[in-house]
A and B are shown apart, each in its own frame.
Chain A
């Protein structure tokens, strides 16, 4: 039986917090509930972005999801010109 929305949100958040890499593809969340349709999981992940629990991270060609606290702030990163 498919998880409820709240259970699914919790499972997605847990997955995003515990995965080795901070950025996840939408497909990586499908395993949170094999009984839910991918488009349902996609809609819930997007709702979590609106709630601020997840954020989008763009590789330039692919958009991924991440927990905001796990993403390094690129704007404060040190470039070689800063040496």
Chain B
């Protein structure tokens, strides 16, 4: 039986899509606080302003992240949502769940919270919506002790790292994304659970340039698998595709008749750098021109494979559009070996180089991509000790002046400003 009149929300149920309002009403039969969620939302629609207070004192002892405080500013009207905190739970690598784990997690959330969830938040965590402050510690105890799971990141912390399925299921993965994600999660426990930075910081790991976790758009450090030798070609399989014996795209678009596969039209003509051609019945690729768009490999997976000398490109600075609009990460290191043999030493050194600099020069609530934009890429490269390469150049220069530094000029130069000013007034 509905506790509040919700005519505005009820209208949302009339559309053709599944409605969160219907879901909440169903859940409210078991968890009465969900009636108050509907009530407070209806009031917000009516008043055209939120009735949530943002933030406050929440957390579990010793953790500065993982729980996002939500308090209603109308607690007398809606006591069920006086406290309605959000808990972020770290997702397993690649989001592999067992049904037993999911059942246990849902039972735990029915016991300590509203039962409402969001699988998953945009960073990748499991989001559990709605609990009271006094339930936080018991929930945390059960989560960590009975289930062996942990809270994720929130606030100005390292956020829960995320990765694609990697080598567990994907033949294109150029490094073990699950291994590196797990290793760095364990290595940076302090940074995940306690605030460390001017603002949030995210890593994401994609095994190949298809970038299935959208690392390049969503993470401050995007580690994207690549190769530095040649795409491996099986010419016999190319012939099978041309003959129509193998379905293109692994049969992914087989629900409709697209006509006979046309290698020229569907692969060669679509290559963004025009680095492919046929010589007789052999497919040729000028690999030094390849930009790793993955289109040819995606269309003909049985004929083409990433090269054998594999590693990752590391890009820095993606963010969502709070200030200055959304931006992709910028390529900083074109190729890095990502290997467990040295415990990902090179990647860790790179990440900590960024942190040491950003923690010092980054402004409060400024993402590392914004700091890079503010100081300019040349300064960032200099700080990181990386020599500029053509791939770093975004556009031809628009500033006609070149300001050389002494160390950049052969033989250097000496300039005594006091002596200069003795003859030339400022």
Contact = CB atoms under 8 A, between A and B. Distances in A.
Interface of A: 25-28, 30, 37-39, 42-43, 46, 49-50, 55-65, 71, 73-75, 77, 79-83
Give the residue among A30, A55, A79 with the most B Cβ atoms within 10 A. A79
Given A26-B156, A57-B55, A81-B76, A39 B359 contact: yes
B67 A58 contact: yes
B77 A81 contact: yes
Q: Classify the secondary structure of B's interface with A.
A: loop
B190 A55 contact: no
B133 interface: yes
A74 B364 contact: no
A27 B358 CA distance: 11
Interface in B132-160: 133, 154-157
Contacts of A73: 57
The size class of the interface chain B forms with chain A is 35 or more
B92 interface: no
A26 B57 contact: no
Nearest to A30: B360
Contacts of A62: 155-156, 195, 199-200, 364-365
Given A58-B56, A73-B57, A79-B73, A63 B356 contact: no
A83 B76 CA distance: 9
A25 B364 contact: yes
Given A58-B59, A60-B54, A75-B57, 15 more contacts: A25-B156, A25-B364, A38-B356, A39-B355, A39-B356, A42-B195, A49-B194, A57-B56, A60-B55, A61-B200, A63-B154, A63-B156, A75-B133, A80-B74, A82-B75
B75 A46 contact: no
Interface in B75-107: 75-78, 83
Contacts of B200: 61-62
Nearest to A41: B359
A26 B68 contact: no
A81 B78 contact: yes
Nearest to A56: B64
A42 B64 CA distance: 12
B198 interface: yes
A72 B360 CA distance: 30
B75 A58 contact: no
10 contacts: A27-B198, A27-B364, A42-B194, A42-B359, A60-B69, A63-B155, A63-B194, A81-B77, A81-B78, A83-B76
Contacts of A46: 64, 190, 194
Contacts of A81: 72-78
Interface string B42-75: 0000000000011111110011110111111111
B196 interface: yes
Contacts of A64: 195
B196 A26 contact: yes
Contacts of B70: 60
A37 B133 contact: no
A58 B194 contact: no
Closest 3 CB pairs of A and B: A63-B155, A81-B76, A81-B74
Contacts of B72: 79, 81
Contacts of B59: 56, 58
A53 B126 CA distance: 32
Give the residue among A46, A65, A71 with the most B Cβ atoms within 10 A. A46
B69 A58 contact: yes
Contacts of B194: 42, 46, 49, 56, 63
Contacts of A82: 75-76
Contacts of A60: 54-55, 68-70
Interface string B168-211: 00000000000000000000001000111111100000000000
